[in-house]
């Protein structure tokens, strides 16, 4: 894989490390759910996104173009979810 960005791979998490946080937020198992990158159109499972801890939150990036798909910040009072990088998220019923 060619290095086209300056993201710090040493901060990369295993996708499963974020599964618990995602479950807490959405109330369903998310790692096998499909999503689509709004930047490059790559479709894949949430669990296949590249997960990083940067500052106070978790950042999930597209495994193809490395653009941010989801950003999650949790404070003592609330959870902030920035999903503008995703065309959609699928939550199983
Ligand atoms: Zn992408």
Report the separation in Å between the CA atom of 78 and the middle of ligand 1, taken as the mean of its atom positions. Answer: 28
Q: What is the pTM of this model?
A: 0.83
**Ligand 1 centroid from CA 65, angstroms:** 4
Torsion of CA 25, 62, 14, 6, to 10 degrees: -120
Spacing, Cα 75 to ligand 1 middle (Å): 28
Rounded to whole angstroms, the Cα distance separating 32 from 85 reads: 18
- For 5-34, the pLDDT digits (tens) are 666 777 777 666 788 888 988 999 999 999
| Separation of CA 76 and ligand 1 centre (Å) | 31
**What separation in Å is there between the alpha carbon of 44 and the centre of ligand 1?**
10
User: Which has the higher per-residue pLDDT, 73 or 54?
Assistant: 73
């Amino acid at each position: 894989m060619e290095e086209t960005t300056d993201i710090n791979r040493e901060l990369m998490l295993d996708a499963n490390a974020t599964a618990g946080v995602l479950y807490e937020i959405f109330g369903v198992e998310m790692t096998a759910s499909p999503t689509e990158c709004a930047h490059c159109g790559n479709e894949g499972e949430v669990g296949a996104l590249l997960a990083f801890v940067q500052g106070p939150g978790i950042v999930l990036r597209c495994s193809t173009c490395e653009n941010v798909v989801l950003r999650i910040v949790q404070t003592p009072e609330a959870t902030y979810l920035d999903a503008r990088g995703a065309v959609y998220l699928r939550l199983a019923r």
